[in-house]
């Protein structure tokens, strides 16, 4: 926990200063999670504000301060999911949006190590983004929370309020679809 329970209880009683402190404590973590869930840096701040807005108006529904973090994660997941649903960005399964020509051109003009790393990072982001096009927005978020954010099944159980076995089945199916897309993309790149 990044904040103590007392601070959460104060925020629940409409203490604006306490709410400010909570936002400042969790802002960086939430921005990071959203950045990885939606993969659109320009919209990360907007979605994060939506998360804290929802937090402000739902704090009174929080039964105990002990479950604050899963609660905040749940709000984050829902806001990211709503954003993705609005975007309805469904990409084709391909390893990268950058053509070889673009990469070579960028390499030639950039030359430096930092720029090459930037290009590599961009390719990784686009690859994962494309692969996740094989699953629904809801499964994309679930898979990223497990595989990228590193949440355990127990933590996911608290976030989703679903039993562990149902989550395991859903995760397995989603991962199988992504694996299939990964195999196809590899074959496509080799052939």
Among 56, 116, 138, 157, binds other proteins (CB under 8 A): 56
49 counts as binding other proteins under rule CB under 8 A: yes
Q: Are 113 and 167 in contact (CB under 8 A)?
A: no
Q: Are 70 and 158 in contact (CB under 8 A)?
A: yes
Distance between CA 161 and CA 79 in Å, rounded?
A: 17
4 counts as binding other proteins under rule CB under 8 A: no
Q: Could you tell me the maximum CA-CA distance found in the chain, to the nearest angstrom? A: 62
Length in residues, the chain: 191
Determine which helix (DSSP H) or strand (DSSP E) holds 91, and give its type and residue range. Answer: none
Among 2, 31, 98, 106, binds other proteins (CB under 8 A): 31
Least separation in angstroms between residue 69's CB and other proteins is 18
Binding stretches for other proteins (CB under 8 A) = 20, 23-24, 27-28, 31-32, 35-36, 39, 41, 44-45, 48-49, 52-53, 56-57, 120-122, 124-125, 127-128, 131, 147-149, 175, 178-179, 182-183, 186
């Amino acid at each position: 926990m990044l904040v103590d329970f007392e601070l959460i209880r104060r925020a629940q009683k409409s203490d604006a200063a306490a709410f400010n402190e909570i936002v400042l404590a969790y802002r960086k973590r939430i921005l990071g999670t959203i950045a990885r869930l939606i993969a659109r840096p320009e919209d990360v701040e907007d979605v994060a504000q939506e998360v804290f807005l929802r937090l402000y108006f739902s704090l009174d529904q929080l039964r105990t301060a002990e479950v604050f973090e899963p609660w905040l994660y749940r709000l984050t997941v829902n806001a990211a999911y709503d954003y993705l649903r609005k975007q309805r960005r469904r990409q084709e399964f391909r390893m990268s949006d950058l053509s070889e020509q673009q990469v070579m051109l960028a390499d030639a003009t950039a030359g430096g190590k930092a720029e090459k790393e930037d290009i590599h990072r961009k390719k990784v982001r686009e690859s994962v983004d494309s692969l996740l096009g094989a699953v629904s927005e809801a499964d994309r978020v679930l898979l990223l929370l497990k595989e990228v954010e590193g949440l355990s099944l127990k933590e996911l159980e608290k976030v989703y309020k679903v039993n562990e076995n149902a989550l395991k089945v859903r995760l397995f199916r989603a991962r199988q679809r992504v694996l299939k897309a990964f195999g196809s993309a590899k074959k496509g790149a080799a052939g």
